[in-house]
Structure formats: C-alpha cells, structure tokens
A and B are shown apart, each in its own frame.
Chain A
Amino acid sequence: MTATYALKRLAMAVPTLLLVAVAVFALLRLVPGDPAQLMLGDAADADQLAALRESMGLNHALPVQFANWLGAALRGDLGHSLANGQAVLPLILERFQVTASIVLLAVALAALIAIPLGTIAAWKQNSALDVAVVGGATLLLSIPSFWLGLLLLLFFGLKLGWVPVVGYVGFGESPWQALLYIVLPVVTLTLIETGVLTRMARSAAIDVLRLEYVAHARSKGLRESTVLRRHVLPNAFAPTLTLLGIVLGNLLGGIAVIETVFTIPGLGRLLVDGIYARDYPVVQGTMLFVAAIYVVVNLLTDLLYPFFDPRVAAE
C-alpha cells in the first residue's frame, strides 16, 4: 500500500520536474548575457563570439538546445559546465554532499532544541518564559543569515581565533578539521532554523494542550512531565514534521548565502556562481536536482506522517 502510494507520488513528480526544466531553461535564456560573452569579456569581437558560441552549442535554435539537453538528462547526463568543462552531475553530487552535511546537522540540532523548547513554551503559555522563548525565536528568524554568519565569523574566527575563517575540509579527509570548518555555518543555520521551528512547535503544542484527551490525562492524575512527553509531544510533532520537511527541502537545495560567507563549496554557491557565469548546464542541472530533492523530501515527510498522526493513514 505504502509502496504503491510512493510510486504514485513519484510518477506525479515527473510533470513537476518537466515543468521545472522548461521554466529554468526558458528563464535562463530570457536573462541577457551569455557565457561566451562573459568568457571573452570586453574584448570579444563578433567572430570570436560566434565561434565560441558555436563550440558551446549555443548557436542552435532554442528548442533544439532544450531537446538535446533533456534527452541527455533522461539518460543521466546533465552535460558539462561551460565555465570549466566539468561533468555537471558528479559536480552537483560532490557539492550536495557538502551542503547536506551542514544542513542535516543543523536541522537535527535545531529540531532537538526547538521542539522541546516550543512545547515547554506552550505549556507555560503567557508566562515570562513563554514571552522569552517567543521573543527569542522571533529575533532569531528575523536575523539575516549572512549578518549572523559574519558576526559569528568575526567573533569566533577573528577575535577569539578558535576556528578557521575560510576553507573547507571533508569529513573523509579529517573529521576533526571538518568539524572545525563547519561549526560556524552549522551554528548559524541552527540558530535561524531554531527560531522557525520553535514557533511552529509551540503553536502545535498549544493546539494539542487544549484537546480533551490532555485534560483527561491530567484528570487521571498523570504528572505534567508525563502528559507532555507521552501525550502532547508526539501529537504536536506532526505539523512540525511538515515544516521540517519544507525547511529541509529548502535548505538542501542550497544555502547560498551561508556558503558564500563561510567559503563552503556547496550546492548553493555552485548555483549562484553558475547564474553569474551564465553557466546554463550547471544552473539547469542544479535546479532540476533541487526540484527532485523537494519531491523526495516531501514524499518522505508524507510517508512518515502517519507514524505521528495515524488518522492520516486511516483516511
């Protein structure tokens, strides 16, 4: 049953991905400027430009270019970067690993902090603690990530010198070094996502705390901690899970600002650099990959949902 549902959802994703591919291709071509021109700079003459465009395959009619690209993409070949000739799919996967390691760590930490914090704030609704949590969460989600990142970088990297300011080392190379390099991006992202998730967790917990079964549990004489842990937290988690899925999908698609500030070679920076360089295969491939990530994360969220809210499975 679940497998059929998953397959159905995946099949439904095909038109979405196709639409994304068409939209990205069309929008990119609508933006003025082309990669050949950027490569040759202000010294480009018409002949040189035409020759380079030809070698890049940009002189074909747009439908032909799209058909060529889509045909190759269906065979798993997203083409080669116009900027440096690298194959796009391995490039995306390499960069995605970097982004995913930061995002998964940050979202897990944020969820571990935000869900209990939001639940406690809901339990103590309208108290000083609640006001402090809501105020803190609002502040965190209002702070621009680049600003928070720069502040952390200046304080911990520059003033205290505890962590390197730029660079990246993979976990496979040196786990300790890797941790040193990603700690600030992870903290930045964790703080911001904690703000987002705390508000949702609090709101969901407030709704659950008002339900009759919670009153019933309390009337049975259960301790408040037991009520919260056993009855409120699991039932309030389902809406937070939806948000968690959206957040995860969003962040896995690239954390360009944070990656730029901390000089992390992730998916977001690949996309931004690709856009500035009008590197069409890289931008098209990355956007398609990001759309696929959204589809997969949302599918996983939907599949997990019944575990936290059995009514969904029943429906």
Chain B
Amino acid sequence: MKTSSFLAGLAAAVLCVLPAMAQEPLRASLNSDIRSTQPGGNRDFNTDSVVLHMVEGLVALDERAMPVPMLAEKVDVSPDGRTYTFTLRQGVTFHNGVPLTSAEVLWSLRRYMDPATQWRCLPDLNGRTGLAKVTEMAAPDARTMTVTLEKPAALFLSILARPDCGETGILHPSSVGADGAWIKPVGTGPFMMGEWRRGQFVELDRFDGYVSLPGERDGFAGGKQALVPKVRFVVIPDSSAAKAALLAGNVDVLTDVPSPELPDLRARADVTVLAAPTMGVTGLLMQTRDPLLKDARIRQAIALSLDVPELVSAMIGDDAPANASPLPSASAFRSDAQTGRPARDIAAAKRLLAQAGYRGQTIRMITNRRYPNVYDAAVATQAMAAEAGIKIELEVLDWATQLDRYTRGDYQMMSFIYSPRLDPSLSYEMLSGPKDMQPRKVWEDPQALALIQQSMTATDSAARQRIFDELYKLFMTQVPMIVLYNQPDYLAFRKGVRGAKPWAAGQTRLWNVSRD
C-alpha cells in the first residue's frame, strides 16, 4: 500500500515536472551581459547576437558572410553604381503587427544617419571613413526604397549587413518614445523582446506573426523559424561555471566554449561540440617602425622560425586550418593564389638575422589571458623563435591595456586577435593605413594602401579578386604581420538540442533550433 502510494506520488510529481520542463526556454550561455538592445548602438559581440534575433535589415549576411536580400525582395543597382533600389518583401510585419513599408525603412535609415543616434556605422556611410557616402534617401512608394551614394562603393551592402551595425535593422517608430529615447526593438525578427534582467539573463519571446524567407537557414538570412516559445540568454561570466551549467542541464547551448574545456566536452556522449572557422584573425603583429623590426629581414626571419601548421594544430587541432592570409579561409575571395606560406627554415632564418645584424636583442611581445589561444600562440612563438636565436620576452596585460597599446602602436610585437571583418577590403584595411594618422595600423606600404583603396571602389568581382591576390603577394614579402589562423567558433550543446550550428560570423543563432 505504502509502495503504491509512493509510486503514485512519484508519477504525479513527474507528470507535474515534465510540462514545466517543456515550457522551459531554450537557454544559451553568454559570457557577459549585453550592453543595450539598440541595433548598432551601445553594443558588443554579445549584444549583436541577441539583437539580431529581433531585428532584420534590408540585406543580411549569408553563411559565407556575403550580403544577400533579407527584408528586401531584391536589390537593383543603377548603371553608374550610385543608386541602390530596394524592393521590399510583401507580407512582412513588425512585432506590433504593423505591416512593413518603405516609410518605416526611411524612418529607420534617417534615424541611423542622425549623429544623435550614435550608430556605430555612421562614419562608414557619411563619408568620414571613405568607405561610402549616402547623399540621398527616398521612399517613392510603399514597397520601394532608394539610397543614392556620392560615388560607387563596393562595400555599401556589406556595411548595411554587418552584425556590428545591427544589420542596419529596420525598426518600427514605436521602438523609441516621443522624445526619441530608446524603448525596445520593435523589429521584424523571429523573436521579440521579452525580459532583460541585467547581469542575469535576456529572454526573448517567439514572434508568431513572423514571415520567413523560403529555404534553409543561411547565415543571418534564409529561412528562419522560431521553434521554441522562448529563448533565454543566460549570463555566466566564469567558463568553468558555464561548463558545469551545460552538464547540469541549466543551459542547453554553451557558446564561446573555452579551448581547455573542449577535450572533456568532446569525450561526453550527452554533449555535442561543433566548430567552424570564423572571419576573425589571430596573428602576430610587428611594429614596422620599431628600430629593430623595421628591418623586413628580421620580420621574415621570425616568420621562418615558426612552424605555423604545427603551432595551429597544437592549439586548435583540426578545428580550423592554418591560414597565412589576412583574408579569412571562409571568404569567398580566398583564392588558391593566397594559400602559400614558406615552410619553417631555421637555417634561412639565422642567415637573415645575420644579414640584418641581429645580435640577440630582446623583442618584447604583448599578449593577454582573456583569449587563451592568443596567449598560447605567444608562448609557442617564443619557444619556436628561440630555436633560431631570436629572444622574445612576453608581456602579459589585461585586454583593455593591450587594446590601448595597440591603438597607440606602442609595442614591438603583439599576439593579437582581430574581430571579424566580413568584407575582404576590410580584412586588409583593418591592418593597413598611415601610422602618422592611425598609429594602430600595422602596414603602411603605399602600394598596398593604393591597392586596398582600389578594392573598395571596384564593383567587379574578378577585378577585386586580382587586387586581393596581388595584396597577398606583397603582404607575404613584407611580413608586417604573421597571420596564424581564423579562430574557430565553438558551440557545445546537450543531447536533444537540434539545429544549433556555429558559423563564419561567430554569432549565436537560436532560430531553427529546437529541443526534444
């Protein structure tokens, strides 16, 4: 009698718990809280990830980080390359049920172009950075939006689609108050704003009125389905706690998996770990104005002293290949002409050092522990270079301090991680420029700068490809930097989670993801 009562009680308890579990949101970890809910405003990587579940732009990045139509059904470019005409998709509605028209698009773009909005990408579209200058915007009818540029700009659509620009997400005016103050994103994405408990979690609710593009998920574009009623991004700053949370079932998806945790997670049957190379670049910067490192032979010698494939393999295994080019291995413009890298040659390195008159002077290399792979790369470089007689001393700083030294160009060598640049021109631009004006730039060769400028205005893909192949040759000869690899994006998730997948841009996507 007692046993049967106990079993009945247990069954009742289980029946009570099961529906509760089914209603639990799909939970993914975040290593720090988001900064705001404004697309491209006060933002960081995590902010972009969360916000892009709620807002969508006219164009979005596909799986290879190329801009493709999203809210626009099609994009036409005028023969002079200056006017872009966006024809909007039909049937799309905002989270408040209002249909999307060009009026909201125009309102959104005007808001972004207003300096008061402090949109991150304004300098890229108002001519300040030289990438593009918008001169006119108009909404001739409810389904058409036109944007006119001062001159043709190859990067215009890429800028609009950039995650750090918030995909130039189209918002309903009710996203802001009467005084223009930000309230919350009323966008067109598959999820809408739920609850944000600062320092704890951000919860998003499924948008039942979402109208998906046909087909499969394709980067930030393609078909999007909110397969769960709610998703929750849980803030867990400590990586060990985040791993424990995954194993205990307190989160379903672990983002930003730290590399030391990978072997253990991969060995478990109840966890799946997936990796994909991103567009971010890990490498070794060299100060070309340093009295010692201004001699290209010493920079070449350092490059020759390293067995980069072995170094990369030791750090990340097969998760991403070694890559010598500033263009990410996932880039559509990464051609066969950009794959060569001189093999390790200690004798040749020593010869170059002798010719340059190197006498064992100490080279200081800055690194940090915030990004374990950056630190590991510095340690491995130090050991490998020592075999060629190059003396490298490490200076371990916190990330903010390293960033400050980088911005001021105050370093000899630096083990560094560049955030993803999603257009090949920007991959070169991020490290190139005149140091007198921008001390953070690594490479200031006039020929290279001219080629990069050409790549930004050329709209023909074949012409751009030739430019990037030429740039690669120059880069490998002058060695202003040693590119190691494109850091992989890791995603670990519990058994029963379906559809989670890392990709080139690195941001977490919880649409098309379900849980049994």
A and B part of one assembly: yes
User: Which residues of A pack against B, CB within 8 Å?
Assistant: 31-34, 37-49, 52, 55, 83-86, 91, 95, 150, 153-154, 157-158, 161, 164-168, 260-263, 265, 269-270, 273, 276-278
Q: How far is the CB of A133 from chain B (nearest CB, A)?
A: 32
Q: Please tell me which one of the listed residues A46, A52, A168, A263 contacts residue B237 in the complex, with CB atoms under 8 A apart.
A: A263
B498 at the interface (CB under 8 A from A): no
Q: Which residue of B lies closest to A272 (CB)?
A: B237
Q: Are A166 and B407 in contact (CB under 8 A)?
A: no
Inter-chain contact B241/A262, CB cutoff 8 Å: yes
Chain B residues, Cβ within 8 Å of A33: 398, 400-401, 403-404
**Contact between chains at B248 and A260 (CB < 8 Å):** no
Tell whether, in the assembled complex, residue B237 and residue A47 are in contact, meaning their CB atoms are under 8 Å apart.
no
Name the B residues within 8 Å of A43 (CB-CB): 164, 419, 421, 430
In the bound complex, CA of A276 to CA of B438 (Å)? 25
In the complex, what residues of A have CB within 8 A of residue B44's CB?
39, 41
Q: Which residues of chain A have C-beta atoms less than 8 A from B234's C-beta?
A: 166-167, 263
On whether A38 and B36 interact (CB within 8 A), knowing A47-B123, A165-B250, the answer reads no
Other than the given A150-B241, A166-B250, 9 more pairs (CB < 8 A) read A37-B400, A42-B430, A43-B430, A46-B438, A95-B199, A260-B238, A261-B240, A265-B197, A269-B237
Enumerate chain B residues within 8 angstroms of A270, measured Cβ to Cβ. 199
Distance in angstroms from B271 CB to nearest chain A CB is: 13
Q: Contacts A44-B407, A84-B198, A86-B198 given; indicate if A165 touches B245 (C-beta within 8 A).
A: yes
CB-nearest residue of chain A relative to B35?
A84
Contact between B401 and A265, CB atoms less than 8 A apart = no
Give the Cβ gap from A243 to chain B, nearest Cβ, in Å.
29
Q: Which chain A positions have C-beta within 8 A of B240?
A: 150, 261
8 CB < 8 A contacts A-B: A41-B403, A43-B421, A45-B129, A47-B123, A95-B199, A157-B248, A260-B241, A263-B234
Distance between Cα atoms of A39 and B249 in the complex (Å): 33
Question: Interface code B226-246, partner A: CB below 8 Å = 1, 0 otherwise?
Answer: 000000001111101110110
- Cβ-defined contact, B238 with A261, below 8 A: yes
> Does B118 lie at the interface of the complex (its beta carbon under 8 Å from any beta carbon of A)?
yes
B419 to chain A, nearest CB (A): 6
Q: Within the complex, what minimum Cβ distance (angstroms) separates A27 from chain B? A: 14
Residues from chain B with a CB closer than 8 A to the CB of A95 are: 199
- Indicate whether A49 sits within 8 Å of B407 (C-beta atoms), given known contacts A86-B198, A166-B245, A273-B32: yes
- Tell me the minimal C-beta distance from A86 to chain B in angstroms: 7
CB of A32 within 8 A of CB of B250, answer no
Of residues B35, B129, B407, which shows the largest number of chain A Cβ atoms within 10 Å of its Cβ? B407
Question: Most chain-A Cβ atoms within 10 A of its Cβ — which of B36, B199, B398, B416?
Answer: B199
Chain B positions 204-252 with a Cβ under 8 Å from a chain A Cβ: 234-238, 240-242, 244-245, 247-251
Among candidates B32, B197, B406, residue contacting A42 with C-beta atoms closer than 8 Å: B406
| Residue B440 interfacial (CB < 8 Å) | yes
User: With A83-B35, A164-B250 in contact, is A37–B404 under 8 Å at CB?
Assistant: yes
The binding surface of chain A is classed by DSSP as: helix
B203 to chain A, nearest CB (A): 12
CB distance from A147 to the nearest CB of B (A): 10
Would A38 and B123 count as touching, CB distance under 8 A?
Answer: no
Q: Are B419 and A41 in contact (CB under 8 A)?
A: yes
**Interchain CB contact under 8 A, B36 and A84:** yes
Measured between alpha carbons, how far is A276 from B488 in the docked complex, in Å? 24
Identify which of residues 384-435 in chain B touch chain A, using a CB-to-CB cut-off of 8 Å.
398-401, 403-407, 416, 418-419, 421, 430
Least CB distance from B294 to A in Å reads 23
- Assess whether B174 is interfacial by the CB under 8 Å rule: no
A161 to B234, CA, bound (A): 19
Tell me whether B118 and A55 are in contact (CB under 8 A). yes
| Chain A residue contacts of B419, Cβ below 8 A | 41-43
Identify the interface centre among B201, B247, B399, B400: most chain A CB within 10 Å of its CB.
B400
Tell me whether B42 is interfacial, beta carbon within 8 Å.
yes
CB distance from A254 to the nearest CB of B (A): 13
CB B44 to nearest CB in A, in angstroms, measures 7
Closest residue on chain A to residue B431 by CB atoms = A42
Contact: B244 with A154, CB < 8 Å? yes
Pick from B199, B421, B438, B440: contact of A265, CB under 8 Å = B199
Rounded to whole angstroms, the CA-CA distance of A281 and B87 in the bound complex is 46
B90 contacts the other chain (CB 8 A): no
Contact call B400/A38, Cβ cutoff below 8 A: yes
For residue A276, give the distance in angstroms from its CB to the closest CB of chain B.
7
Task: Collect the chain A residues with CB atoms within 8 Å of residue B128's CB.
Answer: 47
Whole-angstrom distance between the Cβ of A280 and the nearest chain B Cβ: 12
| Complex A-B, nearest 7 residue pairs according to Cβ-Cβ distance, in ascending order | A33-B400, A265-B199, A32-B404, A33-B404, A166-B245, A165-B248, A32-B401
Does residue B437 face the partner (Cβ distance < 8 Å to A)?
yes
Q: A47-B128, A84-B35, A265-B198 are in contact. Are A164 and B248 (CB under 8 A)?
A: yes
Residue from B235, B250, B438 with most neighbouring chain A CB atoms (10 Å): B250
List the B side residues contacting A260 at CB < 8 Å: 237-238, 241
Contact pick for B238, options A37, A55, A164, A263, CB 8 Å:
A263
Smallest Cβ distance from A29 to chain B, in angstroms? 12
Which residues of B sit under 8 angstroms from A166, Cβ to Cβ? 234, 236, 241-242, 244-245, 250-251
Residue of A nearest to B417 (CB): A42
Q: How far is the CB of B136 from chain A (nearest CB, A)?
A: 24
Q: Is residue B335 within 8 Å, beta carbon to beta carbon, of the partner chain? A: no
Q: Which parts of B414-468 form the interface with A (CB within 8 Å)?
A: 416, 418-419, 421, 430, 437-438, 440
* Nearest-Cβ distance from residue B211 to partner chain A, whole angstroms: 32
On whether the beta carbons of A31 and B401 are closer than 8 Å, the reply is: yes
Whether A265 contacts B200 by the Cβ 8 Å rule is yes
CA distance A226 to B197 in the complex (A): 52
When each residue 19-55 of chain B gets 1 if its CB lies under 8 Å from chain A and 0 otherwise, what string results?
0000000000000110110000011100000000000
Q: What are the residues of chain B within 8 A of A84 when measuring CB–CB?
A: 33, 35-36, 42, 198
Closest chain B CB from A77 CB (angstroms): 19
> In this complex, what residue of A is CB-closest to B237?
A260
Does A168 lie within 8 Å of B123, measured CB to CB? no
With A153-B241, A164-B248 already in contact, the answer to whether A45 and B403 are too (CB < 8 A) is no
Chain A residue numbers with a CB within 8 Å of B237 are 260, 263, 269, 273
Minimum CB–CB distance from A236 to chain B (whole Å) comes to: 39
Q: Cβ of A40: which chain B residues have Cβ within 8 Å of it?
A: 120
Q: Which residues of B contact A31 (CB under 8 A)?
A: 400-401
- A263 and B241 in contact, given A84-B35, A166-B234 (Cβ under 8 angstroms): yes
CA–CA, A166 and B405, complex, Å: 35
Q: Tell me if B241 and A165 are in contact (CB < 8 A).
A: yes
User: How far, in whole Å, are A61 and B487 apart by their CA atoms in the complex?
Assistant: 40
Once bound together, how far apart are the Cα atoms of A164 and B245, in whole Å? 8
A86–B34 Cα distance when bound, in Å, is 13
**Is the Cβ of B123 less than 8 Å from the Cβ of A42?**
no
Distance between B326 CB and nearest chain A CB, rounded to angstroms? 13
A91 vs B199: C-alpha distance in the bound complex, in angstroms? Answer: 11
State whether B250 touches A167 (Cβ < 8 A): yes
A161 vs B405: C-alpha distance in the bound complex, in angstroms? 45
* CB contact list, B100-127 vs A, under 8 A: 118, 120, 123
For B251, list chain A residues within 8 Å (CB): 166
Return chain B residues, CB-CB under 8 Å to A158. Answer: 244, 247-248
